[in-house]
Amino acid sequence: MPTTLKSLRALADPTRLRLLALLEHDELSVHELQEITRLGQSRISTHLRQLQDAGLLHYRRDGKCSLYRVNPAAEPVARELLSLAMRGARELPDAPADQLNLKRILDRRQDQAKVFFNQVAGRFDRVYGPGRSWQAFGQLLLRILPPLVVADLGSGEGLLSELLARRCRRVIAVDNSAKIVAFGAAKAKKNGLTNLEFRLGDLEAPPIPPGTVDLVVLSQALHHADHPDRAVQAAWRILRTPGQIMILDLLQHKFARARDLYGDRWPGFPESDLHRWLEAAGFRNVEISVVAREEEPPHFTTVLAAAEK
């Protein structure tokens, strides 16, 4: 097939345009493209192969990893078509989210501590060691915490709040259920946690004065909010400067029954939405990463978003 027709056929698919836009300036692996686009590995590989066959992609091996980018030595006709394709790619609905996720992936490459943690996490359960557990590690890490004032928004009955209160200066647990707030307060009193206070309130307007806490935690709470972006803005308001927000929540999923089974308002979130809401609220140094994935269907995946005020 002539080069021009081959290039036109390769560029006639929106998914391939998405991939080309991501590979325009940076080398990426299939795994990184998966993280950015949330497309399946086999689907991505198929599209990459078609683009490579058309001479539009450059490919190289780096150890066991295959890296792709737009071919800088493409033929003149192909370069002309690529220029038009990039313009079209920027008009795709997925383009803004793809670019945010690309930035996150490239930033992560610079974060060697995170790379090391992922390697450790991957090894953790492979070899048995007496007394070695995530619970033990968690207790150790809790003792490293400085004496912070923490707001646990959407706290539920306060399991995380109780753990934090054993080390933090003060913990304010906020939930919109009067029954749960009463239960949590009674349990805190029973356990002698005088620095743990439960308050009845909403994620989007927590009953906490502006600029009074060091850390805001939203642990599996944001997907219950009517307006998640407003909850993030509320977190910004109650934080001191400097302050930090940490969000643990579900990655966007397709398990429709979650609304009926768990009362979820949102089916998790794409990383790009979390990133956008945090930046729009005024947060900086936004970091988002996948921290857990359930082995059983529907394979709920948990992301951790952290940012600074």
Across the range 63-75, mean pLDDT stands at: 87
Quickly tell me which residue has 């670019």 as its tokens.
99
pLDDT-based confidence at residue 64 (cuts at 50, 70, 90)? confident
pLDDT of 7: 81
Q: Do the domains at 3-92 and 112-122+133-308 have one common CATH topology? A: no
DSSP secondary structure, 231-289, as one string: HHHHHHHHEEEEEEEEEEEEBP---TTHHHHH--SSS-B-HHHHHHHHHHHT-EEEEEE
Q: Could you give the 3-state DSSP secondary structure of residue 297?
A: coil
Type of residue found at 25:
H
- Most confident range (mean pLDDT) of 3-12, 126-135, 140-149, 271-280 is 271-280
- Range 87-110 average pLDDT: 88
- Report d(CA 150, CA 216) in Å as an integer: 6
Distances in Å between the Cα of 48 and the Cα atoms of 43, 175, 255 are 9, 47, 29
The CATH architecture of the domain made up of 112-122+133-308 is 3-Layer(aba) Sandwich (3.40)
Distance CA 199, CA 221 (A): 15
pLDDT tens-digit readout, 157-180: 999 999 999 889 999 999 999 999
Q: Strand, helix or coil at 116? A: helix
Mean pLDDT for 82-99 is: 90
Instruction: Please state, in angstroms and as integers, the Cα–Cα distance from residue 269 to each residue in 124, 299, 302, following that order.
Output: 27, 15, 10
Which residues neighbour 57 within 8 Å (Cβ) at sequence distance 6 or greater?
20, 23, 48, 51, 68, 69, 70, 71
Which two tokens mark 92?
């795709």
Look up the CATH number of domain 3-92. Answer: 1.10.10.10
pLDDT (average), residues 237-260? 94
Distance CA 268, CA 247 (A): 12
- Tell me the whole-structure pTM to 2 decimals: 0.71
Nearest to 302 by CA among 260, 269, 255: 269
| One-letter identity of residue 246 | M
Amino acid at the residue 174: V
Q: Could you tell me the pLDDT band of residue 80, with boundaries at 50, 70 and 90?
A: confident
Per this entry, what is the length of the chain?
A: 309
Domain segments of the chain as ranges: 3-92, 112-122+133-308
Per residue in 104-148, pLDDT (tens digit) is 888 877 665 555 666 556 566 666 667 767 778 777 878 888 899
- pLDDT at residue number 81: 87
Helix (H) or strand (E) holding 139: helix 134-142
Q: Which is more confident, 132 or 267?
A: 267
pLDDT at residue 122, as a whole number: 58
Sequence-ordered list of residues with C-beta below 8 angstroms from that of 209, at least 6 positions apart, any chain: 238
